[in-house]
Amino acid sequence: MAYQDPQDRSTAGTTPATGWSMDHQWLPFTPNRHFREVPRVFVKADGMHFTTHDGRQVLDGISSLWCVGAGHNRREINEAIKQQLDTLDYATAFNASNDKAFMAADKIAAMAPGDLNKVLFCNSGSEAADTAMKVALAYHRARGQGHRNVFIGRERGYHGVGFGGMSIGGIPANRKVYGTALLPRVDHMRFIHDPLNHAYIHNAEPEWQEDPLLELENRILPLHDPSNVAAIIVEPVAGSAGWYIGPKGYLKRLREICDKHGILLVFDEVITGFGRMGKNFAADYFGVVPDMLNFAKCVTNGVQPLGGVICRDHIYETMVNPDAPNHVADLFHGYTYSGHPVSCAAAVATLQLFEQEKLFDRAGQMGKVLGDAMHSQLKGLPHVMGIRSLGLAAAVELAPAAGAPGKRAYDAFLDCFTHGVLVRSAGDNLVFAPPYIVTESQIDQMVSTLAAAIKRLA
């Protein structure tokens, strides 16, 4: 089928004037048949806005999948990429490297808390998850504990789509049809949401009466024996599930449990890293230093693919053996594009820009505005059963339609798009996570457009 203007069904089957068809691209995580009926194609972006194929302006309420913290089309980042292309376009990553990769690693390590000092680059959050899992196995083996091969994730966690990340992830739909390929030695902690007592979370961590980690201590760890566990991997805030916020003290207690049993703690900060929480990392926000910290997305403002795992010194020092022979690699893992010079040049420029414009502080300030708008404008609307805000992100949860979970939020997403606002639907949640440059009036536009969409659903 050729591209069809949603307003004009008479063009079905024709080739679009723009020179592209809709016949060959298979979109990920997308209902493709319906997409072809109602296409949403971006052709341009600047600041907070996209321009669509049919010439409409759409406000980017989700930083384009949590990536574009500094907003679109930033001259400083574009220039750095162009310059890099003219200087060193690509260089092999094995047994050699490039200057921009070292510069990016210096900057990232300087921003990371504690002794998270060694950066292992990859190209995406999925690769970061698999990389961290492989480092965990290699690290334990290097110190004579190769039996530690159990991984623990959390229900409704998201760590990308590689076999490792999918296995420790806990979003049922992402696992459902791949069951036989999931890694066997993986367990999941219970989810961190209490819909009865803490449905509404307004820019503060909820205080639970019960301890959600008792189940880890009393059931999961004894079942596998803690001495067999390689790592526990969590998102500090559960992003892809729909911005779910754990109870106060949760991550500190998780840190203590890991320390007690020699288990590595990995934070997946692909969403929360580089400013979303108003700090460098969620690790800073919650005051907990993990053993490894995964990042991607905002590190290059989404403009070039780049991900990575920041490791604490003790991991690197265990792996990089001073007595090893000169010709043997420390870690038999890496990607052709690990530390790609163009991506790393984009990262250096992005991190400079974040700093110059104090955009993480701004994210913290605008997060309060977003939280206030969500709670004041959406609470009490039809189907609304919870609202959660923290950092510069917020979600409203709708009651699922009978027999069609996810439909209400998807319909609200389409409605918002039609009215010029990009919101993310995740299950029956609608999530906003705008670029840090968002203004108060744009937040008002986002939330009032969503409020109108929810009312129209009723």
Ligand X SMILES: Cc1ncc(COP(=O)(O)O)c(C=O)c1O
Residues forming the site for ligand X (CB under 6 A): 124-126, 129, 158-160, 235, 239-240, 268, 270-271, 296
Closer Cβ to ligand X, 269 or 415, answer by number = 269
CA distance 340 to 435: 25
Q: How far is the CB of 128 from ligand X (least distance, A)?
A: 7
Q: How far is the CB of 271 from ligand X (least distance, A)?
A: 4
Closer Cβ to ligand X, 166 or 451, answer by number = 166
Q: How many CA atoms lie within 13 A of 113 on its CB side?
A: 19
Q: Which is it for strands 424-426 and 429-432: parallel, antiparallel or unpaired? A: antiparallel
Buried b (16+ CB within 10 A) or exposed e, 367-404: bebbbbbbbebbeebebbebbbbbbbbbbbbbebbeee
Q: How far is the CB of 28 from ligand X (least distance, A)?
A: 9
Closer Cβ to ligand X, 377 or 389, answer by number = 389
Check: CB of residue 73 under 8 Å from CB of residue 339. Answer: no
Closer Cβ to ligand X, 113 or 305, answer by number = 305
Q: How far is the CB of 96 from ligand X (least distance, A)?
A: 25
Q: How far is the CB of 104 from ligand X (least distance, A)?
A: 17
The DSSP code sequence of 376-440 is HHHTTSTTEEEEEE-SS-EEEEEPPBTTBTTHHHHHHHHHHHHTTEE-EEETTEEEE---TT--H
CA distance 82 to 84: 5
Tokens of 280: 């460098």
Cα radius of gyration (the chain): 22
Q: How far is the CB of 429 from ligand X (least distance, A)?
A: 14
Check: CB of residue 70 under 8 Å from CB of residue 359. Answer: yes
Question: Which stretch of DSSP H or E encloses residue 132?
Answer: helix 125-142
Closer Cβ to ligand X, 384 or 431, answer by number = 431
Q: How far is the CB of 168 from ligand X (least distance, A)?
A: 10
CA distance 312 to 119: 9
CA distance 447 to 441: 10
Sheet strands (E) in 270-306: 292-295
Closest CA relative to residue 107, chosen from 292, 239, 291, 295: 295
Q: What amino acid occupies position 341?
A: P
Residue number of the CB atom closest to ligand X = 125
CA distance 377 to 400: 20
Closer Cβ to ligand X, 152 or 221, answer by number = 152
The residues, ordered by sequence, that sit 6+ positions from 361 with a Cβ below 8 Å of its Cβ are 278
Closer Cβ to ligand X, 65 or 401, answer by number = 65
Check: CB of residue 265 under 8 Å from CB of residue 290. Answer: yes
Q: How far is the CB of 169 from ligand X (least distance, A)?
A: 8
Q: How far is the CB of 270 from ligand X (least distance, A)?
A: 4
Closer Cβ to ligand X, 178 or 210, answer by number = 178
Q: How far is the CB of 294 from ligand X (least distance, A)?
A: 7
Closer Cβ to ligand X, 98 or 300, answer by number = 300
Closer Cβ to ligand X, 301 or 377, answer by number = 301
